A and B are shown apart, each in its own frame.
Chain A
Amino acid sequence: GAVVSQHPSRVICKSGTSVKIECRSLDFQATTMFWYRQFPKQSLMLMATSNEGSKATYEQGVEKDKFLINHASLTLSTLTVTSAHPEDSSFYICSARAQFPNTGELFFGEGSRLTVL
């Protein structure tokens, strides 16, 4: 199956700093990538839809100025958590859907566990 790589897998940062998470589709092109956040023992909550070459579409309640998304190429999307606070600590997972063949399946990255001290 298609491979989505996410980096870093774990990151610890101080409150007030910014953290960038990368999501790459390794063997396929993805015009659309999705960013999810998962708190412990909870479901995956969609944060935003990242579209190559255009602005991301954010879900209601997600601050676009705090969670900056850039999708500069067909294989890379980045999520930057700006001015991170302890409540931003979570498991962030990206996912992508292959353009071809378009089976509808979403392929997930390994996830990035962010801990804000």
Chain B
Amino acid sequence: GENVEQHPSTLSVQEGDSAVIKCTYSDSASNYFPWYKQELGKRPQLIIDIRSNVGEKKDQRIAVTLNKTAKHFSLHITETQPEDSAVYFCAASIWGNKLVFGAGTILRVKS
């Protein structure tokens, strides 16, 4: 089955700096890669997703890149703000099937 690895487990950045979180997946059939933000005690919220037919997607300060050959994808947050502090999870799935999550990254943005 699919296995998703995520790094780093914790990330501290200064407000205004960029943050990068990386994930690798094992199943070459996976074609859907979402990123979720979860605040303490709350449900995960989708922040961006990418499908395997594109290599990059951007939404304001957030971007995701996908390298299908290497089976890894990354989340990039620019101009970080304190409210970006949360746990971020990457995930992978074959379209329409179950999502397998990475272990999560605790992002702390220091002001």
Interface residues of A (CB under 8 A from B): 34, 42-46, 49, 91, 93, 95, 97, 102, 104-106, 108-111, 113
Contacts and interface: CB of A to CB of B under 8 A. Distances in A.
Given A43-B101, A97-B96, 17 more contacts: A42-B104, A43-B89, A44-B101, A45-B101, A46-B99, A46-B100, A46-B101, A102-B96, A104-B49, A104-B96, A105-B34, A105-B49, A106-B46, A108-B44, A110-B42, A110-B43, A111-B42
Interface in B20-67: 32, 34, 41-46, 49, 51
A104 B51 contact: yes
Contacts of A49: 98
A6 to B, nearest CB: 8
Interface of B: 32, 34, 41-46, 49, 51, 89, 93, 95-96, 98-104
Contacts of A104: 32, 34, 49, 51, 93, 95-96
